[in-house]
Amino acid sequence: MTTGLVGLAVLMALATYPSRAIPLLAPGFDRLPARALEYLRLVGPAVLASIAASQIFVNPAANGSGPSFHVGVEWLAVGVCVVSVAWRRSLLLGIVLAVLIVAGARGLGLAAA
């Protein structure tokens, strides 16, 4: 069993840790101005929504072609999940519904697997 990539994992962790730790460990971050704190409060919704959007709206570059706009059942699935969380406050229900929609559509041949 090979272990050569364990070293890469360690280096990747070293490349990741500063961005995770510096604001938490550096003194002064709790004394930021009010405007900065309000900005930071908005980071969560913005980043998480950006991640979801990039996953369902953008096909990454592949085979020499650039990124492309994605249209698919994933929109419906994530939309149902969003409505479920907003309405029932249940993330688990939303995820289960999303998986069922995508699996169902692909199983029925309505969407590419």
Partner 1 sequence: MFGLTARSAGFSPIEAIAFSVIVFAGASQFAAAGMVAAGFAWPAILVLTALVNARHLLYSAAIAPWLRNQSVLKRAVMAHLLTDESFALASVHFQRLGRVDPTGYWIAAIGSTFIPWNVATIVGVLGGQFIPNPRVLGLDIVFPAAMAGLAVGLSHGRREVAAAMAGVACAVLIGLLWDPRFGVVIGGVVGPFIGLAVPAGPRPTTALGAIATDRDEGLPS
Site residues for partner 1, 24-43, by CB under 8 A, read 24-25, 29-35, 37-43
Q: How far apart are CA 68 and CA 61, in angstroms?
A: 7
Specify the DSSP element, H or E, that contains 68.
strand 68-69
Q: Is 15 an interacting residue with respect to partner 1 (CB under 8 A)?
A: yes
Three-class SS state of 90: coil
User: Residues 54-83: x/- map of binding to partner 1 (CB under 8 A)?
Assistant: xxxxx-xx-----xxx----x--xx--xx-
Q: Return the residue of 8, 63, 64, 65 that touches partner 1, per CB under 8 A.
A: 8
